[in-house]
Structure 1
Amino acid sequence: MSSPDNSTVEAAGCVLWRRSPIDGELELCLVHRPKYDDWSHPKGKLKRGEDPLTGALREVTEETGYLAVTGAQLPTLRYLANGRPKRVRYWAAEATEGGFTPNTEVDRILWLPPTAARNRLTQPRDRTLVTSLLASLHLT
């Protein structure tokens, strides 16, 4: 039952952060998706009828293995993906507990300081979210 509709793909994710267990400095979590060979913030498509915030936290857990507590809503990104408009809503989220296990969707994660995370992100549009996170945490 496929249709060539151009309805917007709804997705959600988080800019996941923690304090380094080593030096207490801020670290951001990036995920590597082998299907696209890219580094991004954890995110994914919403299930039918799913609340965006619920979906964002589900994606964080599925992709990183971490539970998180959400903070400020961050800017929504809009772009074309496979010829269809996509809207991704983001939140700041602090990792609370968990641990990463590689899976078919995400084979690696990195915890990086903000500048290194910004530089590692594949898509320039994702870099603005690092700045927004820092502002929401009053670190800019």
Structure 2
Amino acid sequence: MDEKSVIRAAGCVLWRRSPRDGGPEIALVHRPRYDDWSHPKGKLKRGEEPLQGAVREVLEETGVVCVPGAALPTVRYLAKGRPKEVRYWAAEPAGADGAHGTDEDFVPNDEVDRLVWLPPDEACERLTYERDRELIRLALAAVGIEDRAG
């Protein structure tokens, strides 16, 4: 397969401590075009580094300024018959108190119309694609949080 035909994208498994009970919560976005739930991600711009693109996509899709941490595995699949590679990082909202991870930061748009913060097990259930579920476990492990996600 021609290397130029690969769709390159990047995103983050965005997590925060719950304002209610301090447990971990995962941010998921709903894309009306596909009627799916996924981690914030998107295609890289020409010449854009994957990490830079991941941070940009999180901001564009959630309104959250994030701080990326550990790199997660690259996810590969076919999208409309073309190979797609998505680089992922675990990330949390900027600011020591997570103040940039509030629901007020989100503004619905044509690309993403909903944002939810869910406990890991509920996030796994809500995700549309199986390939996205393992990323939650890996992200939590990378930040030292015991996995309770299914």
Give the counterpart letter for 1:9 in structure 2.
I
Query: 2:137 and 2:59 mapped to 1: Cα distance?
Result: 23
Pick from 103, 112, 120: which aligns with 1:114?
Answer: 120
The TM-score normalised by the length of structure 2 is: 0.88
Q: Does 1:15 align with 2:21?
A: no
1:92 matched to which residue of 2?
90
Give 1:120 deviation, angstroms.
Answer: 0.6
Deviations 1:36-93 (A, max 9, x none): 0000000000000000000000000000000000100001000000110000000000
Indicate if the aligned counterparts of 1:6 and 1:84 stay in contact, CA closer than 8 A.
no
Normalized per residue, the structure richer in strand is 1
Runs of 4+ deviating beyond 4 Å: none
Give the counterpart letter for 2:139 in structure 1.
L
Give 1:6 deviation, angstroms.
Answer: 6.8
Taking only aligned residues, the RMSD between alpha carbons, in angstroms, comes to: 1.3
2:108 matched to which residue of 1?
102
Question: Any stretches of 5+ residues in structure 2 without a counterpart?
Answer: 95-99
Pick from 68, 71, 90: which aligns with 1:70?
Answer: 68
The alignment of Structure 1 onto Structure 2 pairs a total of residues equal to 136
Question: Any stretches of 5+ residues in structure 1 without a counterpart?
Answer: none
Between the two proteins, what is the percent identity of the paired residues? 65
Query: 1:64 and 1:53 mapped to 2: Cα distance?
Result: 16
Q: Does 1:127 align with 2:125?
A: no
2:79 matched to which residue of 1?
81
Query: 2:145 and 2:14 mapped to 1: Cα distance?
Result: 15
